[in-house]
């Protein structure tokens, strides 16, 4: 019975190592999602962190577009995640 418990612990450690490797691989992947026929696009990584937001100018009300570039084709914002 002792060998069975040791084998079980070894399998658990191997599974934990595989999970850590998979989490690292997923964290490196990115996903783009868009809405409104591509008017707004958001890019996130495998950690669910927002990396980029792209907004087409037609989406923004000119009356509320403070800081929006004059005559933009589109605006893309790179986001930097910082710990709180």
CA 44/CA 52 separation, integer angstroms: 7
* DSSP SS3 for 52: strand
Tally of domains within the chain = 1
**Is residue 26 in some structural domain?**
yes
Block mean pLDDT (10 aa), the chain, length 84: 80 96 93 90 89 83 65 59 51
CATH number of domain containing 28: 3.30.1310.10
CB proximity list for 59: less than 8 A, separation 6 or greater: 36, 39, 40
| 24, 31 contact by CB (below 8 A) | no
- Enter the pTM of the model: 0.60
Q: Helices marked H in 1-84 — which ranges?
A: 2-28
**Is residue 18 in some structural domain?**
yes
Containing domain of residue 21, as a range? 2-78
The predicted structure's pLDDT at residue 84: 44
**Is residue 19 in some structural domain?**
yes
The predicted structure's pLDDT at residue 76: 61
**Is residue 83 in some structural domain?**
no
């Amino acid at each position: 019975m002792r060998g069975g418990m040791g084998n079980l612990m070894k399998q658990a450690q191997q599974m934990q190592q595989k999970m850590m490797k998979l989490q690292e691989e997923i964290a490196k992947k990115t996903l783009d999602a868009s809405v409104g026929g591509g008017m707004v696009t958001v890019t996130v990584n495998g950690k669910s962190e927002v990396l980029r937001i792209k907004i087409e100018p037609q989406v923004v009300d000119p009356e509320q577009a403070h800081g929006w570039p004059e005559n933009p084709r589109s605006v893309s914002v790179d986001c930097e995640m910082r710990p709180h």
